[in-house]
């Protein structure tokens, strides 16, 4: 099993801030990493796959980087609609695993 | 438009069984691997099971192996999850999810169906 450590679990920020979320793997996964956004009461939505490829329709203020064991999701200029919970997911090997989630809240 | 609509959730006693269904539309269902992912109340996401487009490859999380069975009917554009020997810790919203081009990440999710295991 590939274990994931996502940090921070809670991030307080203001509109316009640049925020960064980290995801660290227990072993290398090349670039087999996705990021999802989830709002309360809703299903998750895909933001980024292959560590850095933006899903169609996702605003360019979202970006992903990293490979191997360390990955980062960056929101360059936080908007009101970005306050949500974010999850990373590895799909390098089964069982697929998700990070614990990062809740981005209004400061 | 891709649509995934789950059904079959509800309240069941510990040790009981439930069968979830997912009706797919808006894409060629038989060409995609499909998954079930769950989320316990107030908790994070947990992958449950995956089935390839032709049902040749099936995988389960250790937490459900031997109790849950994933299946699909490509003629009916439907995905299923048979859940037996249910436990309180299986209480969660269960999402039906499409896997992009058998690559491993999920590009579309259903709205979810709540399963509550309680006496």
Whether B111 and A43 lie within 8 Å, measured CB to CB? yes
What is the C-alpha separation between A18 and A13, in angstroms, rounded?
8
Nearest to B71 by CA among B93, B90, B49, B91: B49
Bridge partner list, A25: A4
What's CA B30's distance to the chain center, in Å? 16
pLDDT for B113 beyond 80: yes
- Put simply, whether A58 touches B (Cβ < 8 Å) is no
If you search the block for the tokens 């554009």, which residue do you land on?
Answer: B77
pLDDT for B67 beyond 80: yes
Q: Chain B residues within 8 A (CB-CB) of chain A?
A: 44-47, 50, 59-62, 95, 100, 103-107, 109-112
Q: Helix H segments across B1-119? A: none
pLDDT tens per residue, range B29-57 = 999 999 999 999 999 999 999 999 999 99
Nearest to A8 by CA among A101, A105, A106: A101
pLDDT tens per residue, range B2-16 = 999 999 999 999 999
Choose among B104, B107, B110: nearest Cβ to A96.
B104
For residue B53, what is the DSSP state?
A: T
Distances (CA, A) of B90 to A1, A33, B10, B63: 20, 26, 12, 9
């Amino acid at each position: 099993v590939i274990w994931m450590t996502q940090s921070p679990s809670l991030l307080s920020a203001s509109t316009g801030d640049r925020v960064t979320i980290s995801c660290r793997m227990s072993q290398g996964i090349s670039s087999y990493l996705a990021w999802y956004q989830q709002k309360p009461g809703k299903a998750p939505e895909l933001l980024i796959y292959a560590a850095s490829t933006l899903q169609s329709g996702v605003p360019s203020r979202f970006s992903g980087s990293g490979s191997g064991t360390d990955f980062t999701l960056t929101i360059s200029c936080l908007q009101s609609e970005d306050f949500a919970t974010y999850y990373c997911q590895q799909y390098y090997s089964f069982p697929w695993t998700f990070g614990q989630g990062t809740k981005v809240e209004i400061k | 438009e891709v649509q995934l609509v789950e059904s079959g959730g509800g309240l069941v006693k510990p040790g009981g069984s439930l069968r979830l269904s997912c009706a797919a539309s808006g894409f060629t269902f038989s060409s995609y691997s499909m998954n079930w992912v769950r989320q316990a109340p107030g908790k994070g996401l947990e992958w449950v099971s995956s089935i390839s487009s032709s049902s040749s490859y099936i995988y389960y999380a250790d937490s459900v192996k031997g109790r849950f069975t994933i299946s699909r009917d490509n003629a009916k554009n439907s995905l299923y999850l048979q859940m037996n020997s249910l436990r309180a810790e299986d209480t969660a919203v269960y999402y039906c999810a499409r896997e992009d081009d058998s690559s491993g990440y999920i590009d579309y999710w259903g709205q979810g169906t709540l399963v509550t295991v309680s006496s």
